[in-house]
């Protein structure tokens, strides 16, 4: 089956690529293994030079790469530009800090001298999604490469041009051939790659179902694994919240990338005192969002990435309405060319509806009315996911106390959940395990080796 680049705005095929056969895949694995052993011997200064060159190229060709992203998966061009800039930032961050993060650490013991030294694991397989086709790869690649690992990229099959562009960027910026390789393979072939003796670890950003399969395979072959999976982030609005601030951030969080983000706010949990006012303000802003051609700078909502994703979302919404939820605005596909869905609000979502239990990966905000503050916390944790969360209150100290009780990888108080190279990122429960970014992220794929000297 070919890897097909299809424009979700026009439903027109841009280009198709044939998948590799087993022989070509094995040659690539062998080449990457050899390239990694040489790369591991390079100085941090050399590795940093490659990443700084990549950052410069991303800045210089931002609009070119942004256009590629938008045409291949549909996000508004202005958001695609921001994604490219963020990739440059993570390159610069690890170019600056990786050597310090991996410096040997003295440890007191009964030895004359003892310390922990950090060495690369080897070749890391990165299985990445389509929704942030540049950022998801760079946030994994930058720390892995700086640690002396090599990276094999198995990208989503609907963004093959982005996948190939990423390999070209690194090659043009001085990375030795084979240290970063895009694998044009089928999903089924990923199991062969995980099993290969040339591969030493796996990082996956994707669905819960994909995470379970990859974790099982990695466990079978005793390979280190980091999983960043789905999320159903609670956005808790308390009675004393600054509603203007909360609503503006609700719009940004829920509708960025057409709602196709694991860390988007997905469940708006509101207490009785402000529920109606919050909904009123949110509805005004949702209905003002400009839907249209993502290549136009004024567009805020582009198409969803694939037709099947749009259809699946609409089934979730239709079932939830039949189960008692209330369509406040939108909640229908757009009758036009491309895979567009109306910016939507679903109110009165309860435990009897699909929307309560499932992640909605699209431009739909669901309102859950809690009975009290304590009930809001209960609802926030009543999910199998645990990625991000946010609390909105003018009493920041009180919100901080409440944050300790939320089961999630991060809690933002009076701010939108986002990834930042300086902060660790990851989840708990069915949202996965392990951490990306910051010092913790680069330590995921190294051998923390104890050295003891009499």
Catalytic residue among 228, 358, 359, 444: 228
**E strand intervals along 123-231:** 123-127, 150-154, 180-182, 201-205, 224-228
Give the pLDDT of residue 350.
98
Q: Phi and psi of 71, rounded to 5°?
A: -70, -25
Give the pLDDT of residue 2.
74
What phi-psi label fits residue 160: left (phi over 0), alpha (psi between -120 and 50 degrees) or beta?
A: alpha
Give the pLDDT of residue 440.
98
Cα distance between residue 44 and residue 22, in whole Å: 34
Distances in Å between the Cα of 132 and the Cα atoms of 43, 118, 182, 256, 280 are 31, 30, 16, 11, 31
Residues 432-446 as b/e (b if ≥16 CB within 10 A, e otherwise) read bbbbbbbbbbbbbbb
**CATH node for 3-229+429-453:** 3.40.605.10
Alpha-carbon dihedral of residues 197, 199, 205, 209, nearest 10 degrees? Answer: 0
Beta-carbon neighbour count of residue 288 at 10 Å?
10
Helix H or strand E segment including 167: helix 160-172
Cα distance between residue 50 and residue 273, in whole Å: 54
Give the pLDDT of residue 61.
98
Catalytic residue among 87, 262, 331, 410: 262
Q: Are 145 and 180 a contacting pair, CB within 8 Å?
A: yes
Q: What is the pLDDT of residues 313-361, one digit of tens each?
A: 999 999 999 999 999 999 999 999 999 999 999 999 999 999 999 999 9
Sheet holding 113-120, edge to edge: 105-106, 113-120, 446-453
Give the pLDDT of residue 167.
98
Tokens of 270: 């509101």
In whole angstroms, how large is the CA radius of gyration of the chain? 23
Q: What is the pLDDT of residues 13-72, one digit of tens each?
A: 999 999 999 999 999 999 999 999 999 999 999 999 999 999 999 999 999 999 999 999
Instruction: Name the CATH code of domain 233-413 (choices 3.20.20.140, 3.20.20.70, 3.40.309.10, 3.40.50.150).
Output: 3.40.309.10
Cα distance between residue 139 and residue 327, in whole Å: 37
The pLDDT of 222-249, averaged and rounded, is: 98
Cα distance between residue 262 and residue 417, in whole Å: 10
* pLDDT of 1 over the 60 cut: no
Listed by start position, the domains of the chain span 3-229+429-453, 233-413
Sheet holding 390-392, edge to edge: 326-329, 344-347, 364-369, 265-270, 233-237, 390-392, 412-413
Catalytic residue flag (residue 228) = yes
Q: Which burial class, exposed, middle or buried, applies to 319 when counting CB atoms under 10 A from its CB (0-12, 13-18, 19+)?
A: middle
Which of 371, 323, 363, 322 has the alpha carbon at shortest distance from 345? Answer: 363
Q: Are 409 and 389 a contacting pair, CB within 8 Å?
A: no
Helix H or strand E segment including 392: strand 390-392
Beta-carbon neighbour count of residue 208 at 10 Å?
17
Three-state SS at 86: helix
Paired residues of 154 in beta bridges: 127
What phi-psi label fits residue 326: left (phi over 0), alpha (psi between -120 and 50 degrees) or beta?
A: beta
Cα distance between residue 454 and residue 267, in whole Å: 57
The pLDDT of 198-226, averaged and rounded, is: 98
Q: What is the pTM of this model?
A: 0.97
Which of 223, 239, 205 has the alpha carbon at shortest distance from 373? Answer: 239
> How would residue 372 be classed by pLDDT, with cut points 50, 70 and 90?
very high
Q: Are 264 and 253 a contacting pair, CB within 8 Å?
A: yes
Residues 234-264 as b/e (b if ≥16 CB within 10 A, e otherwise) read bbbbbeebebeebbebbbebbbbbbbbbbbb
Q: Are 68 and 14 a contacting pair, CB within 8 Å?
A: no
Beta-carbon-side half-sphere exposure of residue 66 (alpha carbons within 13 Å): 22
Three-state SS at 238: coil
Residues in the chain: 454
Q: What is the pLDDT of residues 282-292, one digit of tens each?
A: 999 999 999 99
Give the pLDDT of residue 139.
98
Which of 25, 3, 29, 6 has the alpha carbon at shortest distance from 16? Answer: 3
Q: Are 5 and 13 a contacting pair, CB within 8 Å?
A: yes
């Amino acid at each position: 089956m070919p890897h097909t680049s299809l424009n979700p705005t026009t439903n027109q095929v841009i280009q198709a690529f044939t998948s590799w056969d087993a022989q070509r895949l094995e040659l690539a694995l062998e080449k990457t293994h050899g390239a990694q052993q040489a790369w591991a011997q390079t100085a941090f200064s050399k590795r940093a030079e490659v990443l700084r060159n990549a950052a410069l190229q991303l800045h210089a060709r931002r609009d070119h790469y942004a256009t590629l992203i938008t045409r291949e998966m549909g996000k508004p061009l202005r958001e695609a530009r921001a994604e490219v800039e963020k990739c440059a930032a993570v390159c610069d961050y690890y170019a600056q800090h990786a050597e310090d993060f991996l410096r040997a650490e003295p440890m007191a013991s009964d030895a004359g001298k003892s310390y922990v030294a950090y060495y690369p694991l080897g070749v890391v397989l990165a299985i990445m999604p389509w929704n942030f086709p540049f950022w998801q790869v760079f946030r994994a690649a930058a720390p892995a490469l700086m640690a002396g690992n090599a990276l094999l990229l198995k990208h989503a099959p609907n963004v093959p041009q982005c996948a190939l562009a990423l390999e070209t960027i690194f090659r043009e910026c001085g990375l030795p051939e084979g240290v970063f390789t895009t694998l044009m393979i089928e999903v089924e072939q990923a199991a062969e790659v995980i099993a290969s003796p040339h591969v030493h670890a796996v990082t996956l950003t994707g669905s819960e179902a994909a995470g379970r399969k990859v974790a099982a395979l990695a466990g079978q072959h005793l390979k280190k694994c980091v999983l960043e999976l789905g999320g159903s982030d609670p956005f808790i609005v308390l009675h004393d919240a600054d509603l203007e601030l909360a609503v503006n951030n609700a719009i940004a969080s829920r509708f960025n990338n057409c709602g196709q983000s694991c860390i988007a706010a997905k469940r708006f949990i509101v207490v009785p005192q402000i529920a109606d006012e919050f909904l009123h303000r949110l509805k005004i802003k949702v209905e003002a969002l400009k839907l249209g051609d993502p290549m136009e700078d004024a567009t805020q909502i582009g198409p969803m990435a694939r037709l099947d994703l749009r259809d699946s979302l609409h089934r979730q919404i239709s079932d939830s309405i039949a189960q008692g939820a209330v369509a406040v605005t939108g909640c229908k596909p757009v009758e036009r060319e491309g895979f567009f869905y109306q910016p939507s609000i679903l109110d009165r979502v309860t435990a009897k509806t699909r929307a309560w239990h499932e992640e909605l990966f699209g431009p739909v905000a669901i309102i859950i009315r809690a009975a009290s503050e304590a009930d809001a916390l209960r609802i926030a944790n009543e999910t199998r996911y645990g990625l991000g969360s946010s609390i909105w209150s003018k009493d920041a100290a009180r919100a901080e106390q409440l944050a300790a009780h939320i089961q999630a990888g991060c809690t933002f108080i009076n701010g939108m959940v986002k990834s930042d190279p300086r902060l660790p990122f990851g989840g708990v429960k069915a949202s996965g395990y392990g951490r990306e970014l910051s010092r913790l992220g680069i330590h995921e794929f190294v051998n923390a080796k104890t050295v003891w000297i009499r």
